[in-house]
Amino acid sequence: MKAWLCNRQCFIAVAAVCLVPLLFAAQGSASNSSEDARLVNEFQQRVKQYLELRKKAAGQAPKPTDSPQVIASSQRELGNKVRVARAGAKQGEIFAPEIAQYFRRQLAAVLVGPHGKDIRASLRHAEPVRMDLQINQSYPENVPLQSTPPTLLLKLPELPDGLEYRILDRELVLRDAEANIVVDYIPEVLPDTEK
């Protein structure tokens, strides 16, 4: 009987020692995920604000046409209107430091995950592009748009129509595809070895 009691006490003690850190970890993970949700929500709000500003400044998106001249001029016009509307915009306006950290964590997790090797291979084969980025600049029309591995895209918050993520060398760019404008970017979001 005594031996049984001793065994039971030992079992409870061992279980407690094992479970307490797990409980703390679970609590930490829950608070991490709610913090992540807050950051994603904050990011989406900022994106929404940008799109509202763009719509107010530039109106509706252009329609398909036979005329390359019409396409070229409407794109330039749209870009110029957006540039004027957010003339003072700075890097980090949408990718605020906390949000940028969230994106860095997401991308780092994918790159060390099971598809990391294939993603790195895809990035290498994507004709990497290097250029100096500036907010509100037009993406140069004669520079290829580097393709972005799908597994990376699936890990990032979804974007509304008209906006897209692009990897450029090591930076992550938020691009207004319709106005052809660099809306914001996170510098050196990919580790140096991923070049």
Partner 1 sequence: MIAPRKSFSLLLASLIVCSVSLHAQTNRKLDIKLPLRNNSVRFAVIGDSGTGDQEQYEVAKEMEAYREAVGFDFVIMLGDNIYGGHEPRDLAQKFEMPYKPLLDAGVKFYASLGNHDDPNVERLYKPFNMNGERYHTFKRGDVQFLALDSNYMDAKQLTWVEQNLRSSGARWKICYFHHPLYNDGKSHGPDLDLRNQLTPLLKLYGVNAVFSGHEHAYERIKPEDGIYYFIQGSSGKLVKDDFHRSEIMEKSFDRDRTFMLIEIDGDKLFFQTVSRTGQTVDAGQVGRQTQPARAVAAGR
Within 8 A by CB and 6+ apart from 104, the residues are: 186, 189
Q: Which is nearer to partner 1, 67 or 193 (CB)?
A: 67
**Whose Cβ is closer to partner 1: residue 29's or residue 65's?**
65
Residue closer to partner 1 (CB basis): 102 or 139: 139
CB of 94 or CB of 152, closer to partner 1: 152
**Contact with partner 1 (CB under 8 A): which of 38, 48, 55, 125?**
125
Could you give the C-alpha distances from 172 to 68, 108, 176, in angstroms and in order? Answer: 30, 13, 13
Q: How far is the CB of 6 from partner 1 (least distance, A)?
A: 54
Q: Which of 104, 131, 180, 194 binds partner 1 (CB under 8 A)?
A: 180
- Regarding 113 and contact with partner 1 (CB under 8 A), the answer is no
CA 109 to chain CA mean position, Å = 13
Return the closest-CA partner of residue 94 out of 187, 190, 185, 189: 185
- At 191, the amino acid letter reads P
C-beta of 44: minimal distance to partner 1 in Å? 15
Q: How far apart are CA 63 and CA 83, in angstroms?
A: 21
Q: Rounded CA gap, 150 and 153, in Å? A: 5
Of these, 158, 187, 188, 195, which contacts partner 1 (CB under 8 A)?
Answer: 158
Q: Does residue 68 touch partner 1 according to CB under 8 A?
A: yes
- In whole angstroms, what is the distance from residue 161 CA to residue 177 CA? 9
Residues that bind partner 1 (CB under 8 A): 62-69, 71-72, 75, 115, 118-119, 121-122, 125-127, 141-142, 144-154, 158-159, 164, 177-178, 180
